[in-house]
Amino acid sequence: MREIRFRIWHINDREAYEVVSINFELGIWYHDHIHGESQWASFDECVIEQFTGLQDKNSNDIYEGDIVDNGNTVVYSDRSTKRFANVGTVKHDVKNGCIVINNSNGYTNRLTEKTIKENKISVIGNIHEGIK
């Protein structure tokens, strides 16, 4: 069973924070690791993103809204290689009950431990900050 966790993207601060608790009347209680303090944010001040339960090839947690590189490297018979970049955004596909990567050309790929391992998927940014 996967761990249910959330992070928020604080619109005014332009920072991501760990969610401590969600209260539908008060808002979101979050922790700022940089300043070592916790505080409330209203729902209109932030975007809530859920942890997928997966980690990339570098053991970084993958959340909704992350941008990942799931490019493949093809090795040809003459030992030359070519890397095919496939950058996409992580989303929950509610209709099919899975986590997917959507890329700009409309291709969708399920995000699983197997696809992470086979394609050496890594988080390279998020939809709020862009690619790092």
Cα separations in angstroms, 24 against 29, 63, 116: 11, 22, 34
Length of the chain: 132
Residue 101 tokens, joined: 């990567």
pTM, 2 dp: 0.81
d(CA 67, CA 38): 27
Helix (H, G, I), strand (E, B) or coil at 45: helix
80 versus 61: which is more confidently predicted? 61
Nearest one of 90, 78, 69, 62 to 132, comparing CA atoms: 69
130 versus 78: which is more confidently predicted? 130
Provide the residue ranges of all domains of the chain, joining segments of one domain with +.
6-131
d(CA 13, CA 51): 21
